[in-house]
Structure 1
Amino acid sequence: MYRLITNELQKIFKKRKVFVVGIVFLAIILIFSIIQYESSHKTPEETISQNEKSMSLLKEEMPYFTGDTQKRVKQAMAQYKSEIQKAYRAEDLDKLNWKDRIKNQISDDEKNKKSPDIEQDNTKVEQINEEILAKRYALKNNIPEVSDNYNQKAVDIFVQMLAYISLIILPVIICVIVLDVVSGECSPPTMKMLLTKPFSRGKILFSKFAAASIASTIAIVISEAVSLIILGFIVGFGSINAPVSVGTKYGFNQDKILAGNWHDVSAVIGSSYVVPQWKFIIEMFLLQILFIVAFTSVCVLISVLFNNNTVAMTAGIIITVIISFIVFKVMAGDGVSAADVPFRRIAPYFISTYSSSGFLLTGDMAAQVRNPDISVGLGIVVNIITGTVCYIIAHIHFTKKDMLL
């Protein structure tokens, strides 16, 4: 079995597409991370200046807006005003040492929770609770970086961008690496030659699955690790012990009904907790590897079902891209489309929902898809079941397949 797996790995890496895909993925992460850093890395003074200009423009255009558009513009202006107030407050707190600064920030957060526009919104209350937990953790563990809300470091940006990029790019990368693992050997006599060797078809298929899983994991994880290191040298690494809020749970909000008679969700107060960034990154990578292996099984099944490599690659990638964009569209939607409801219902049981392990760990996936059933536990179960079922079907089909091409 070891010989078979190493042989399959050699064939995969000989095609060089693993290296190409890895480099492209690395470049995508770096480019989007740097763009995110440039857009978010603003001093309080820059924030005040830019937001005041934006508010001025919106005020001039306000008479031309009506209905929902005017409502959204007013909400945007309120957000700008809030950010300006926070920036002025940050300037005042910068005069203090970092511990006193955090203590004042916690005091401000406690007051904000009691404001009328936040007190009745469980999600906003829990978001503030997360900030308070992180700041208390920083005080307890002597992490001064947390006191500066305007200076994101490499790990912060990397985690944010990877969560979004994984939604669409990760499944496509796996498809490119894996989809020709069986179908690619049907046109030349490679498969027939392999079947003449003293190995069962089951062992041959497993070796291809194992090699494809290893190759995909290497290409993805190493690209991510290298991009994080490069980003760290560019913008600074920050503290690996800095707190990250995770585990936020959500429930249906019976008072808010969206299009299609679907209830919105709101956070469960007190459900969030914090972990150090190093632990978050390890858990994120472990969940990501589980998804890679499970989705590799899906791609192996597609590769087994088609004798033509071009058809297998085209069908697999098109289906994956469409599904990934549906997930992204539903997450980015504001609940006004009734067409999103069917996907929201099945999303917890769909493997593509769990491609972003970062969103899964924080609870943001449940919030953005608006289905509280989405969780880390269910994600693990769905990945295992989907991967197992697809592999069993592929095994049955491959062992009975007519190879007289």
Structure 2
Amino acid sequence: MFKITKIELLKLLKQKKTYIILFMLILLMFTSLKTNSLDMNHIISMNYENATMIDSTKNSINMIKEQLKNDTFTSDEKKEYKEKYLPNAEKELKNVQIIQDKNTDPMDKLKAKIELMKCEIFEINSGKLSSGFSMSQYNMELRYLQHLYDNKIPESKYPMYNSFNYVLNFFTDIGVAIIILLFAILSSDIVSKEMDDSTIKLLLVQPVSRFKVLLGKYMAIILSAVCMLLLTFAVFFIIFGFMHGFGTPSYPVLTHIKYEPHAIPEDSIRYLFDGNSGYFVTSLNLIIKEMLFFILICITTVSVSFMISVLINKSVLAISINVIINAALMYLIYGTTFVKNISQYFYLSYIRSTDVFTGKIYSILQNTKLIPTQGIIVMIITIIISFSISSVVFTKKDM
């Protein structure tokens, strides 16, 4: 079997299609060097370094002091302003000054930002400040900043362009769908092509069982796809690192965020996240999990394509059907609401692996059952079924 796998790998290396697909993968990475390298760790971005913030905060303090002189205020109102709102505004000013001081230690600046956000939350809850952000967003951002402070990790500038973010954000993009289609094309004629031109008979006359022939071909295409994927990402991780920096492997990413359904006037459903849910993992930890998860997605894609290649004798037809099936299924999952309630049973629902691990896939597909564990189970079952059908058909097929 290992000899057959080696032979099949050499065949793949001699095919022009293999190098075209590798070139397409490289081109895909190049086109996403900038578009996908945005910060994903911030839920909201507060511009506390705006030069006008000090003046506006001072004006707020002066307004409160003027209101304390207002004779129309009751003694209780004056007491509330003096004991709550004035100290809060003065605390805001102090923290803004710390943030905008260029000589401030990064960790002190981070602490000041946390305190400043707490001041804003107090004002929002008191009805003294309106904000475009929800309280859930404030809570999530506070947890993020507090995690940085507790673990002595300096806050990175927004947006963050580095290798770790490049990889994490790539898995939220349309590029992952293109990778799936490329691997579907790569594997969809590995058997049908040889059936089409009758070269499969040369293998079958060897003193090796049909099952071993099939398994050898299957292992060869799996190894090719995985190696191409890992090689491409490794190269671009290094390229992006030299261009923009590698980033910090310990930098936190908030994962497994919970989204709750909320009805809106149009009688449709949208999902809003709970700012107190989820937990942090390091960028390195998440990338390792996502790469393994995406490799499993690619293996599943190859397995399904391999099955179609066994079922259909004509290579052109096999490739066409494969691309149509994958493209149509992705469209139904991501472009319509037709299959949203059962999307957890389709492995292509999990191709945006960053969104699966962070929890954003809940709101994208409006299905809270789309979790990594469910995805792994679906993919393993799909692989087993696909290869089982392939082996049964291949061993009984009239060549």
Provide TM-score, normalisation by structure 1: 0.76
* Conserved? CA contact 1:246–1:363, under 8 Å: yes
Q: Secondary structure at the match of 1:181?
A: coil
Distance 1:13 1:32 in 2: 27
Aligned equivalents of 2:49, 2:383: Cα separation in 1: 49
In structure 2, the CA distance between the partners of 1:165 and 1:22, relative to structure 1 (3 Å rule), is: farther
Does 2:362 correspond to 1:366? yes
Contact 2:38–2:169 under 8 Å retained in 1: no
**What's the C-alpha RMSD, in Å, of the aligned pairs?**
3.2
CA contact (8 A) 2:252 2:283 kept: yes
CA deviation profile, 1:68-124 (whole Å, cap 9, x unmatched):
xxxxxxxxxxxxxxxxxxxxx79954633211221122234445556479xxx9x95
Contact 2:164 2:284 in 1 (8 A): no
Q: Which has the larger radius of gyration?
A: 2
Contact 1:19 1:219 in 2 (8 A): no
Partners of 2:216 and 2:348 lie apart in 1 by 25
Deviates more, 1:89-98 or 1:102-111: 89-98
Mind listing any 5+ residue stretches in structure 2 that lack a counterpart?
52-95
State the alpha-carbon separation in 2 of the partners of residues 90 and 24 from structure 1: 50
Question: Paired residue for 1:137?
Answer: 147
Paired residue for 1:156? 165
Amino acid at match of 2:144: A
From the superposition, tell whether residues 308 and 46 of structure 1 become closer, same or farther in structure 2 (CA, over 3 Å): farther
- Which of residues 213, 221, 224 in structure 2 aligns to 1:212? 221
Q: Which moved more, 1:320-329 or 1:201-210?
A: 320-329
8 A Cα contact 1:354 1:379, kept in partner: yes
> Identity of aligned pairs, percent?
26
Unpaired runs of at least 5, structure 1: 49-88, 330-339
Q: How far has the Cα of 1:153 moved from its partner?
A: 2.4
TM-score (norm 2): 0.77
- Structure 1's consecutive aligned runs of 4 or more residues displaced over 6 angstroms after TM superposition are 44-48
Seen in structure 2, the aligned counterparts of structure 1 residues 211 and 262 have a Cα distance that, compared at 3 Å, is farther
Residue in structure 2 matching 1:238, options 235, 247, 255: 247
**Corresponding residue to 1:189 among 184, 198, 202:** 198
1:378 and 1:359 map into 2 onto residues whose CA distance is: 14
Do structure 1's residue 378 and structure 2's residue 374 form an aligned pair?
Answer: yes
Shift of 1:243: 0.9
Corresponding position of 2:21: 21
Q: Closer, same or farther in 2 for the Cα pair 1:167/1:346, shift >3 Å?
A: farther
- From 277, 282, 290, give the equivalent of 1:284: 290
Kindly tell me the number of residue pairs found equivalent between the two proteins.
344
CA distance in 1, matches of 2:290, 2:99: 37
2:345 maps to which of 331, 336, 349: 349
Cα drift, residue 28 of structure 1: 1.5
Deviations 1:146-173 (A, max 9, x none): 2523443232233213321444212112
C-alpha change, 1:311 and 1:113, in structure 2 (3 Å) is: farther
Which residue of 105, 113, 122 maps to 1:105?
A: 113
